[in-house]
Amino acid sequence: SVAKFFIGPNLCLPNNFLIPNYDTFLFFDFGLVMESEFLEYFSDLLDLGGFNKQVNVFDYDFNIIVENWILKHDNLLKYIKRIIGYVDDNDDNDDNGIIMADTDLNWVAVQDIPVNWGVFAFQSSKKNL
């Protein structure tokens, strides 16, 4: 499948975890950290935007799953396996969403459950261009 990003103005955002000063939002319909193909496209998007690619991955209760991961094509499978293993081990929790953010919180990608739309939100003034 080909990854597609959608820009959606005036959509209802899950603002319980988004920092209010994010001003740009892209929506996606792929498992955030469950598919290597999607993460490759996401990594490329971060490169194109000049974004920081050092990330932390959290569960929906803000428990750290992966810390200080440098997101790049050649290490995706290792971390995907770690994240899927964590989700599987904690599947008794209904809130099995994933939050991925750069270490400076200039952007965040969130998906509340793998079958729902995810959102990539960022501060356009904080891109490293």
- Residue 58's H or E segment, with its range, is strand 54-59
Cα separation of 22 and 99, whole Å?
Answer: 15
Neighbours of 44 (CB within 10 A): 12
Question: In terms of pLDDT, which residue wins out, 62 or 95?
Answer: 62
For every residue of 70-116, DSSP letters joined together read E--GGGHHHHHHHHHHHHHHTTTSS---EEEEETT-SEEEEESSTTS
Q: What is the pLDDT of residue 111?
A: 87
What global pTM score does this model have? 0.79
Instruction: State yes or no: pLDDT of 7 exceeds 60.
Output: no
**Which range among 8-17, 56-65, 87-96 has the greatest average pLDDT?**
56-65
Q: What is the pLDDT of residues 80-114, one digit of tens each?
A: 999 988 888 876 655 678 899 999 888 999 888 77
pLDDT by residue (tens digit) across 19-55? 566 778 888 888 888 888 889 999 999 999 899 999 9
C-alpha dihedral, 80 to 85 to 88 to 90, nearest 10°: -110
